Structure 1
């Protein structure tokens, strides 16, 4: 099963596991929402993961 995080801007980060989806959303955040990178923890992101 694929995992995903939906950003409020509409971007969907996908991965086969937690690490992949977190890496994808972190990359998106770094380019599109740099102010959030420091304020959103790994634990926050894990709580946002959905299974597809």
Structure 2
């Protein structure tokens, strides 16, 4: 895949795109739930 032309330009006036933050993933409740699910998944032993 070819890089866009604007990446090569060193124009200080150019606004660079930034990755958007997902508010759900950054929430404390979501992080706690995800951590708990990972711990439960690791503790399950398959026979």
TM-score range, shorter chain: 0.3 to 0.5
Q: Higher RCO, 1 or 2 (CA under 8 Å, sep at least 6)?
A: 1
Which is richer in strand?
1
Q: Point out the structure with max Rg over C-alpha.
A: 2
How does the TM-score come out when normalised to structure 1?
A: 0.33
How does the TM-score come out when normalised to structure 2?
A: 0.36
